[in-house]
């Protein structure tokens, strides 16, 4: 089973991934972007402050990373539990310059039609997101601003719905342990 944890940066995905590693010890854990050798190089380019990419070029680099991840990590391990920090959902939600239908076509090509069986989406209200962003050094994507992150958050839900994915939507400001328990229950259902 392929499970994706989704949400804007600072929503608590990485914290939950760490907690799940202690529970699902036999699972394959991965992430986007950068989980493969080529993906690592693509991630460096995508997050480099001095490189300003055209939005199409940026999207295509994310798609290249996603194609590598699916081919080399996720597809070979679908007989196991695979838990990913991000998936095509993030790619589609953050690519705001493009129509979702176009993004869906490109992403289904990159993923060979492999979609998460279950999605956990950690959502943050504006004030909580603002507070969390103020406590960390923001990367190139986060520097695009609070408004864009909130718009992306709405797009996450649209993408999940458009792809008809089984999803658990949680308030990312709930206590960590409570979120972890809800995720475990959802995965084991």
Binding residues for ATP: 7-14
Give the Cα separation of 128 and 133 in Å (integer): 9
Give the Cα separation of 143 and 21 in Å (integer): 30
In the annotated binding site, the residues are 7-14
DSSP 3-state assignment of 167?
strand
Give the Cα separation of 33 and 18 in Å (integer): 17
Give the alpha-carbon dihedral of 92, 97, 100, 106, to 10 degrees.
-60
Q: Are 167 and 120 in contact (CB under 8 A)?
A: yes
Q: How many CA atoms does the CB half-sphere of 78 hold within 13 Å?
A: 11
């Amino acid at each position: 089973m392929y499970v994706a944890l989704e949400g804007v940066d600072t929503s608590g995905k990485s914290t939950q991934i760490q907690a799940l590693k202690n529970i699902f010890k036999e699972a394959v854990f991965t992430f986007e972007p950068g989980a493969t050798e080529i993906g690592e190089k693509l991630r460096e380019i995508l997050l480099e402050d001095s490189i300003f990419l055209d939005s199409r070029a940026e999207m295509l680099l994310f798609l290249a990373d996603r194609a590598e991840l699916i081919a080399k990590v996720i597809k070979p391990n679908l007989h196991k539990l695979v838990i990913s920090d991000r998936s095509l959902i993030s790619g589609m939600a953050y690519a705001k310059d493009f129509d979702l239908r176009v993004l869906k076509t490109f992403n289904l090509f990159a993923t060979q039609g492999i979609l998460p069986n279950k999605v956990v989406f950690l959502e943050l209200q504006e004030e909580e997101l603002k507070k969390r962003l103020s406590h960390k050094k923001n990367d190139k994507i986060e520097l695009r601003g609070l408004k864009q992150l909130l718009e992306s958050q709405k797009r996450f839900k649209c993408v999940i719905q458009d792809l008809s994915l089984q999803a658990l939507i949680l308030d990312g400001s709930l206590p960590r342990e409570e979120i972890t328990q809800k995720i475990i229950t959802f995965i084991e259902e």
